[in-house]
Amino acid sequence: MSPQENSTKKVFVLNGPNLARLDLRDSAIYGTMNFETLTEFVKRSGSELGFDVDMRQSDSEVEIIHWLHEAADNSIPVIINPAAFTHYSYAIRDAAELVKAPLIEVHLSNPLAREEFRHTSVISGIAKGTIAGFGPDSYRLALLALKQLLA
């Protein structure tokens, strides 16, 4: 293992429902990157900052909860876009609260500038912070914030 690989810090980047189908979603809101390209962008942004990004997506609340347990058990920091679960999943909130390493909430769009049901986040209260509205750069900015938090 090279010294570079040796010093990289693992981070989970977890994505909730429908984010794997960005290709089908409104490009005026979510931009033009499909999920594969977003994944490449996030992994590249992470490696530039010394992170080994483990990018995951699921439409299942249960699977996301299990990934949060995995992060909690292994002290792995988390960047999470809970997608629609943001607005109502107390189960994901409770699981996210178990993660003692920094956890940052991200959104591609700015939910506060959209429909009223998106104005509530049940995750924000237990996140270290929230970055929203910058498209794929929301993830890059979260990685930057995480780097500073861990420094």
HSE-CB at 56 with a 13 A cutoff on CA atoms is 20
Please name the residue that has the structure tokens 């930057």. Answer: 144
127 binds ligand DQA (CB under 6 A): no
Which residues within the stretch 75-104 sit at the binding site for ligand DQA (CB under 6 A)?
A: 81, 83-84, 86
Which residue number, 40 or 73, has a Cβ lying nearer to ligand DQA?
Answer: 40
Active site residue 139: no
Site map for ligand DQA, 21-60, x if CB under 6 A?
A: ----------------------------------------
Closest CB 39 distance from ligand DQA, rounded Å = 14
Distance CA 89, CA 11 (A): 22
Active site residue 119: no
Distance CA 102, CA 99 (A): 7
Which residue number, 49 or 84, has a Cβ lying nearer to ligand DQA?
Answer: 84
The count of other CB atoms within 10 Å of the CB of residue 52 is: 13
Q: Is 121 exposed, middle or buried (0-12, 13-18, 19+ CB in 10 A)?
A: buried
Q: Which residues are identified as catalytic?
A: 30, 107
Residues engaged in binding ligand DQA (CB under 6 A): 18, 81, 83-84, 86, 107-109, 111, 118
